[in-house]
Structure 1
Amino acid sequence: MPLDGIISTIQQFRLLGVTPERKLCFIDAANSSGYVGLASMVFETTGDDMCGGAGEWVRKGGIGQLRRQFKIKSADASKLRWFCEKSCTLLFTLGKGSSPWTFALNLGTKKIEKLTTGVDCNWWRNFVGYEMDAAAYLMSIARR
């Protein structure tokens, strides 16, 4: 794990994942003056063997700070939920109580899509995220 450059923030404001190019990606949400912004850092290993520990993790830049920011009432109202590694999509929620919103952010295109409004955030404990293509999905639900 790279020690240099990783910010020590509250768990709900950070996520760690792997990009489709097999690079380590750290995503951080920052709250400032009632707004939340997102930034990411990408690391890769200097060695040939990713599992053997032959190399060191080196910061190779990032996807950058996102210009799009959201106004929120409270710093703890935002929460990074899931990083979809195959599509480089980040799922996160904003808001608390009876009206939280769920968003998907594509880190490649930096486009944000609003997914739901008013979904109880406690439902996330039952969420199991993984990605599969349409053919694999159809095979998984087909009768045998």
Structure 2
Amino acid sequence: MKKYKFYIVGVMLSTQVLIGCSDEGSRDAMLTVEAFHEQFNLKDFEKIYVDIVSKEFKDSMTKSDYFSLMNKNASVLGSYQYGRLLKSDQVKVLIGDGNIRLTYHSIYSNYELNEMFIIKKEDGRDKIKQIVYDDIHVVTLKEK
């Protein structure tokens, strides 16, 4: 029975997520977020769709829903002004993909909010897997 418990604990520990930070991985992920913001300001959502977001991101919604969402975000948020990196976590798992989670405090022309980007490696390049906007702590900068 003790061997069985030891085996279960060993399996559980070996599948836990290990969190660390890699400067190079974080730097590459930050460049991906920077490219996203540049294309967002240009309203080049096609380039974001083709070059910057992951297949998993694309699979999460239809292409027309993606374009509707991006146009709405651009209309509501306004243009991206600048951001400050709040936190960077490299999440590695023993089985599956490793991801980098970047949290920014971002200033747009209409709003100030936190954004979280989940970045993954896909075909040797960093791609955005998920974007989460913190709508709880949004500060309105301009009334619409």
TM-score band by shorter chain is 0.3 to 0.5
Structure in which a larger fraction of residues adopt helix: 2
| TM-score, L = length of structure 2 | 0.32
| TM-score, L = length of structure 1 | 0.32
Q: Which has the higher contact order (CA 8 A, sep 6+)?
A: 2
